[in-house]
Structure 1
Amino acid sequence: MNRVTTGSGSSRGQVPGVPVVGIEQLGRVHFLGLAGVGVSAVARLMLSAGVPISGTDAKDLPVLDEFRAAGVPVRVGYAAENLVSVEQETGERIDTIVASSVAQAGTNPEFDAAAAAGKRLLHRSEGLAACMAAKRGIAIAGTHGKTTTSSMVAAMLHHAGTSPSFAIGATVAGFGTNAAAGSGQWFVAEADESDGTLLNYAPEIAVVTNVEADHLDHYGTAEAVHQIFADFAERILPGGALILCIDDPGAASLAEKVRSPLTARNVELTTYGTAPEADLTLTELTTGSTGVQAQLHSGSQRAQLQLPVPGVHNARNAAAAVAVGLYCGLQLSTAAAGVASFRGSSRRFEWRGTVDSIRVYDDYAHHPTEVTAVLAAARSAADTGRVHAIFQPHLFSRTRAFATEFGTALGAADTVRVLEIYPAREEPIPGVSSELLGHPVRTRAQAVEEIVQIAEPGDVVLTLGAGDITELGPQIVSALQRSRTHADRT
């Protein structure tokens, strides 16, 4: 699996039908949805590369202050005249628009004005692909675990001294950002399958952590979800590598489907997992409140893996990162040590505070498989304590599709409270509500009040969901502090 990594850029050739546009071709770039985690990452990268940029967002969020401080023209509130206003302010023509998934034709006046003016229109993912064009791309995909795995890869390569560039869907602990332009040849990118835009990348290395039915509001069927990952494998540059988890049935099925086509294109297929047939094998795996330990085996190489984050799923994510490191030319022990430097990503079992030995965590889990994995991690972290889960379902369509599975997954917690569905981009669906999950539905205030009443020293409180439930963690910590202070005084 070890590769010699000489040279830089995407020198292994291109995939037919996947145009590679470099940022030097974009001219002045204007971003729609500048405050969003994905769009802001691309904007940071282009700004670091010296590309003149500007941007608009619907809300004046704190991230916009970062761009203002860098001298970037920023507008709040979408309007067709913003484009003219920015051009007048800068004295330069806007050549390219990079837009989020929600700022698109027919729904955004600024996008429509740009289209009418004949400007180049790029989706966020195409903007990111342009940033990657001069580097050797590593694209991390999968239904679950791609943010953590991407963060681990970036941390590992940084620890090894390779100075990678990266763009990830969450702030990475230790970096303090979700995107940075490094001086090295590798570029780590999280590839989002939710709307099929992962097909805009042509990486040298692709990772698929797992393949499972999700985003059925976009794809319609589980078969279509599986197909998008097969299509993604076709985007790997000749001479590159596909790395996937053999423990996952969907990824294992993908391996068999694409093995022959990959071989014909000289693309290496590498597997990882606890299964003995994996190319990179995890053995002697233990997980507890202090994290995960395991042995890694790759050919004749052996190494100890020690992670400061709990959960068997994180051991598999770490193995994926190590497999990437081996392809990049690192020794197994060096890759394992680099992954061990990972300290977490925002909203991935993120510690929000401890009061009277009650630990409060927040996690982005919004699919039954993710909920199952993170509750298992919480269970190991709690040890003899109890696990209290507060879950906010995300999307009416996902709640309808997986109501029974969510109910079962949440049953692994000692107590469960479910909030109302976070609609995101959807309108309500008749007959679909949080009550379908089979657990008590509470308001935020009720959930916080009940946690304060029942949580005891040693317990773990976990807020779960892809919506705004992340705001609840600090509220729970504050409520616990007030409760304990009041108890001490009385």
Structure 2
Amino acid sequence: MHIHILGICGTFMGGIAVIAKQAGFRVTGCDANVYPPMSTQLEAQGIELIQGFDASQLDLNPDVFVIGNVVTRGNPLMEAILNRGLPYISGPQWLAEQVLQDKWVLAVAGTHGKTTTSSMLAWILEYAGFAPGFLIGGIPQNFGLSARLPGEPVQEPGGRSPFFVIEADEYDTAFFDKRSKFVHYHPRTAILNNLEYDHADIFPDLQAIETQFHHLVRTIPGQGLIVANGKEASLDRVLQRGCWTPTERFGGQQGWQIGTAYDDGFDVMLDGRLQGRLQWALLGEHNQLNALAALAAARHVGVPVEQGIAALAQFQNVKRRMEVRGVEDGVTVYDDFAHHPTAIDTTVAGLRRKVGAARILAVLEPRSNTMKLGTMKDQLPASLRDADMTFCYGANLGWDVASALAPMGARAATFDELDALVTAVVAVARPGDHVLVMSNGGFGGVHSKLLAALKDRAG
């Protein structure tokens, strides 16, 4: 069977392409921007990529077109598909029907931490020999790829793992299906990591997102498990609308808790009882909470907590999560995916706890749809309070970055030219500083530009 994927170079649709290829489908695809690293990964799988959405791609004559949510009405290929009455389906629905239907799905939902927590959970199951399949919106470094089909579990030689871990996004499915992606997945185990207002381009307010989360809750069987953040009033409201599934809490006054914290980890507690000490290098309370959620979900499918803790001690974080890109002239440059004010706050705070009194120079690109609309602009100064200086790239925004960051005074500077930003950072950076770059996009390769400029400065 031949599928042609529209919007194939997005992380989610690219993952579907990899899984479909592994499952024996012939896979081709197109996107507006076909470039590395996704293009390289897909081509290495033998997947033919086409630049653009020209209607001539109908001549490929696939059995079905799989549509990513980047595709809108007016797209020339989509219009041709509609005019010809050809079969098409959304990516999440295709995945549900072709891959997830007979699986024990473990879904990780939430405004923040989905990719990291999904990666932790998949790794715990892998460490335990369960050989799970997964589709994650990043590249877990323990695996080196973002998606795969279930493999052969140690417990059942010659068999196929029933487990599939998926990052469950609340963003809408496609232009023709405005439900959140995650309602298609029908998980048996679901993590509700947190819930804040985001995606201002499609949701009018937090209550609208809570409604979508309750749609997810309605799909979870009574013999399943919901692992919910006990510190989130928004998730309490979701569950109070109706819940038919056992629930375990983490991070709150009951259930799974962070015990004594150490420089290299923390004690894992469950109902007031010590489960073990997790020793690792990850920063921040948010990652400790992610770990609790992953341990709880893994226990539901049969992984003892002690074994889960041992797995997380060997966990390597996802790329672009406080990833050190290099050190030049004594200055360390990090790359992080943080883009929502809450994620920015926790990321900077985590680095602050690591580096102590050393200077943190935050370099920020407000690039997400929500940030471009300016919905969260007033929260930015507080989210950057732990940074010594902030350099913000404000090109192509519909709001005034300088005004939004004005409360920070001389600690913030804004730029419309990337090279000018790089020059300004390098001019003030000194040995021992930590430059934290935060964006959910490529940011014009600013990390490499900063490192090259620092190297040139050092002679």
Q: Normalising by structure 1, report the TM-score.
A: 0.83
Equivalent AA in structure 2 for residue 110 of structure 1 = L
Once the two structures are TM-superposed, the CA of residue 483 in structure 1 deviates from its matched residue by 1.3
Secondary structure (helix, strand or coil) at the match of 1:217 reads coil
Q: Percent identity?
A: 28
Once the two structures are TM-superposed, the CA of residue 397 in structure 1 deviates from its matched residue by 5.0
Correspondence for 1:129: 96
Equivalent AA in structure 1 for residue 92 of structure 2 = S
Cα distance in structure 2, aligned partners of 1:100 and 1:189:
17
Cα distance in structure 2, aligned partners of 1:422 and 1:351:
28
Cα distance in structure 2, aligned partners of 1:280 and 1:107:
49
Secondary structure (helix, strand or coil) at the match of 1:158 reads helix
1:173 aligns with 2:141: yes
Once the two structures are TM-superposed, the CA of residue 135 in structure 1 deviates from its matched residue by 1.5
Correspondence for 2:342: 369
Cα distance in structure 2, aligned partners of 1:445 and 1:391:
14
Query: What does 1:243-262 correspond to in 2, within 5 Å?
Result: 243-255=227-239, 257-258=240-241, 261-262=242-243
1:441 aligns with 2:414: yes
1:193 aligns with 2:170: yes
How big is the alpha-carbon RMSD for the aligned residues of Structure 1 and Structure 2? 2.1
Aligned 8 A contact 2:325 2:333 in 1: yes
Moved more, 223-232 or 38-47: 223-232
Cα distance in structure 2, aligned partners of 1:72 and 1:217:
32
Cα distance in structure 1, aligned partners of 2:4 and 2:122:
27
Cα distance in structure 2, aligned partners of 1:355 and 1:68:
33
Aligned 8 A contact 2:360 2:433 in 1: yes
Cα distance in structure 2, aligned partners of 1:461 and 1:422:
23
Query: What does 1:99-138 correspond to in 2, within 5 Å?
Result: 99-104=67-72, 106-130=73-97, 131-138=99-106
Q: Deviations over 1:53-92 (max 9, x none)?
A: 21112233133344444443332221111121x23xxxxx
Secondary structure (helix, strand or coil) at the match of 1:369 reads helix
Equivalent AA in structure 2 for residue 241 of structure 1 = L
Secondary structure (helix, strand or coil) at the match of 1:207 reads strand
Aligned 8 A contact 1:394 1:421 in 2: no
Unmatched runs of 5 consecutive residues or more in structure 2: 152-160, 173-179, 407-411
Cα distance in structure 2, aligned partners of 1:221 and 1:361:
33
Equivalent AA in structure 1 for residue 198 of structure 2 = D
1:345 aligns with 2:325: no
Which runs of structure 1 show a deviation greater than 6 angstroms over 4 or more consecutive aligned residues?
Answer: none
Correspondence for 1:64: 39
Cα distance in structure 2, aligned partners of 1:181 and 1:369:
33
Match of 1:229 among 192, 213, 223: 213
Correspondence for 2:202: 218
Match of 1:203 among 184, 187, 190: 187
Give the direction of change, closer, same or farther, for the CA distance of 1:460–1:252 in structure 2 (3 Å limit).
farther
Cα distance in structure 2, aligned partners of 1:306 and 1:83:
54
1:76 aligns with 2:46: no
Cα distance in structure 2, aligned partners of 1:156 and 1:42:
22
1:408 aligns with 2:386: no
Aligned 8 A contact 2:192 2:229 in 1: yes
Correspondence for 1:159: 127
Correspondence for 2:290: 317
Correspondence for 1:22: none
Correspondence for 2:409: none
Moved more, 451-460 or 309-318: 451-460
Aligned 8 A contact 2:200 2:369 in 1: no
Once the two structures are TM-superposed, the CA of residue 227 in structure 1 deviates from its matched residue by 1.7
Query: What does 1:5-44 correspond to in 2, within 5 Å?
Result: 27-44=1-18
Cα distance in structure 2, aligned partners of 1:397 and 1:149:
22
Equivalent AA in structure 2 for residue 292 of structure 1 = G
Once the two structures are TM-superposed, the CA of residue 293 in structure 1 deviates from its matched residue by 2.7
Cα distance in structure 1, aligned partners of 2:83 and 2:220:
34
Once the two structures are TM-superposed, the CA of residue 193 in structure 1 deviates from its matched residue by 1.2
Cα distance in structure 2, aligned partners of 1:66 and 1:192:
22
Give the direction of change, closer, same or farther, for the CA distance of 1:415–1:432 in structure 2 (3 Å limit).
closer
Equivalent AA in structure 1 for residue 55 of structure 2 = A
Equivalent AA in structure 2 for residue 336 of structure 1 = I
Aligned residues: 434
Correspondence for 1:269: 247
Give the direction of change, closer, same or farther, for the CA distance of 1:434–1:392 in structure 2 (3 Å limit).
farther
1:456 aligns with 2:430: yes
Secondary structure (helix, strand or coil) at the match of 2:136 reads strand
Aligned 8 A contact 2:43 2:49 in 1: yes
Once the two structures are TM-superposed, the CA of residue 340 in structure 1 deviates from its matched residue by 2.3
Give the direction of change, closer, same or farther, for the CA distance of 1:73–1:390 in structure 2 (3 Å limit).
closer
Q: Deviations over 1:256-296 (max 9, x none)?
A: x15xx333xxx2111111x331x11211124x5xx533333
Aligned 8 A contact 1:296 1:304 in 2: no
Secondary structure (helix, strand or coil) at the match of 2:391 reads strand
Q: Deviations over 1:404-437 (max 9, x none)?
A: 21121112211111111566xxxx4xx5545423
1:238 aligns with 2:205: no
Correspondence for 1:417: 391
Aligned 8 A contact 2:64 2:89 in 1: yes
Correspondence for 1:23: none
Give the direction of change, closer, same or farther, for the CA distance of 1:137–1:362 in structure 2 (3 Å limit).
same
Equivalent AA in structure 2 for residue 125 of structure 1 = P
Cα distance in structure 2, aligned partners of 1:125 and 1:167:
11
1:393 aligns with 2:366: yes
Once the two structures are TM-superposed, the CA of residue 235 in structure 1 deviates from its matched residue by 1.7
Q: Deviations over 1:382-420 (max 9, x none)?
A: 223111101111257535222221121112211111111
Secondary structure (helix, strand or coil) at the match of 1:122 reads strand
Aligned 8 A contact 2:201 2:369 in 1: no
Give the direction of change, closer, same or farther, for the CA distance of 1:164–1:434 in structure 2 (3 Å limit).
farther
Secondary structure (helix, strand or coil) at the match of 1:126 reads helix
Give the direction of change, closer, same or farther, for the CA distance of 1:218–1:463 in structure 2 (3 Å limit).
same
